[in-house]
Homo-oligomer: A and B are copies of this chain.
Amino acid sequence: MTTEASLATTDAEKLKLLLNVSRLISSRLELKPLIQEVVRQASRLVSADRSTLWLYSHETNEIYTFLGEGLSQEIRMPLGTGVAGAAAQEGRVIIIDDAYTSPYFNPEVDRRTGYRTKSLLAVPMESHGQRLMGCFQAVNRLDESEPDGVGCFSEEDVEVLSAMAGIAAVAVENALLYSEQKKMFKSFIVTLAQSVDAKDATTSNHTMMVTGIAVALAQHLELSHERVERVRIAAVLHDYGKIGVPDEVLNKPGKLEDEEFLQMRSHCIKSILILSRIAFGRGLEDIPRIAGLHHEKLDGNGYPFGLRGEEIPLESRILAVADVFQALTQTRPYKQGLPPAQALEECRTMTVWHTDRFGRESGPHLDANVVTALGEILDEQNGNLGYFEQVSGWESMLAGEEL
């Protein structure tokens, strides 16, 4: 059991602890170590032998131990069962002096852990969004004046534990919101990308492959984590403007008429316009521009703006290489895809003055450093394109994450 020395018994000690916890909640701690600290301090503040934070799972309608002192594995119970389940469901405080005489108490946990519960205090955790979050529970109020060393929780303990529950609730809610926002964001962008790919069944995995290649390039070029993520999102959305290009133009196998050619080219500016209306959130303001510049060329002969060299953001130069390489390796009804080594060689040609596919002399289109990086990645992966599918993160974008 906790030693008496570590308990906060005076107001001065309690104040000090509570001040520390209040400062902690906006610190850079991850949720788990933060809650660990909150639970530990809660025990000291209410002189409990142990405390446990239970969270409610909407998916299963259960409560589960997110963090419990003395628990070696997670415990799950249907909402409404046990003391914690009742406090969470009914949204009220439960104080129990002798657990084994209480109708709420479920001795199953004691049986499993070999612990002996006597007094209990459970306070519900709710978010200000009125969302049921779980329950904060303290077990066995330490009291040396009792023969077994365990006394009863007081009204003052209720106040203190409620405060700790309030602090834990916002911390958990914050983490939930971050996680939900990430999930929502990813599922939306993948849905947008799949909508475009659906317009042309023969290139249905083009976007996924471009994303994987672009992310691999950004990582290989040692861009910061934030920039790699920007490249990933921009890659997922790079062709979105094609949603505004008629199917018959997009899917025309032969040469495009002049007006069709303009319609086809308009997809970049359409990407910028449509994506600019999305509230991507902080740090992602550049996504529309990065996505929309993937057809710019180093020599200034690209579109939509004819930018040159470094005027084109590195992220867009990465997208350009990924887009060209993917198109070259992809098999379509009317053409066989090139083997990776040969496609890489074509990309290399495009980094210097060269004769383009219409027989015209042309300046450099692709960034040589980026193409070099692609060569190094292909060497490392022995030319296996499956690697890019994996790096794209496509699967996990639609999968859920748990706290």
Which residues of A come within 8 Å of B, CB atoms?
10-12, 14-15, 18-20, 22-29, 34, 58, 125-131, 159-160, 162-167, 169-171, 173-174, 177-178, 180-181, 183-188, 190-192, 194-195, 198-199, 243-244, 246-248, 274-275, 277-282, 398, 400
CA separation between A20 and B22, bound complex, in Å?
A: 12
CB distance from A253 to the nearest CB of B (A): 16
Contacts of A184 in B (CB 8 A): 181, 184-185, 188, 278-281
- Which of A34, A187, A248 has the most chain B CB within a 10 Å cutoff? A187
Q: Are B126 and A26 in contact (CB under 8 A)?
A: yes
Q: Are A18 and B27 in contact (CB under 8 A)?
A: no
Closest residue on chain B to residue A275 by CB atoms = B191
Contacts of A162 in B (CB 8 A): 19, 23
Knowing A25-B170, A247-B248, A278-B184, say if A192 contacts B192 (CB, 8 Å): yes
CB distance from A238 to the nearest CB of B (A): 15
Contacts of A191 in B (CB 8 A): 192, 274-275, 277-278
CA separation between A106 and B277, bound complex, in Å?
A: 39
Q: Are B198 and A244 in contact (CB under 8 A)?
A: yes
Q: Are B177 and A178 in contact (CB under 8 A)?
A: yes
CA separation between A166 and B19, bound complex, in Å?
A: 9
Knowing A12-B11, A27-B128, A192-B195, say if A278 contacts B187 (CB, 8 Å): yes
CA separation between A353 and B181, bound complex, in Å?
A: 47
Closest residue on chain B to residue A240 by CB atoms = B195
Contacts of A173 in B (CB 8 A): 26, 174
Closest residue on chain B to residue A162 by CB atoms = B23
Partner of A174, one of B22, B128, B279: B128
CA separation between A278 and B400, bound complex, in Å?
A: 11
CA separation between A173 and B194, bound complex, in Å?
A: 32
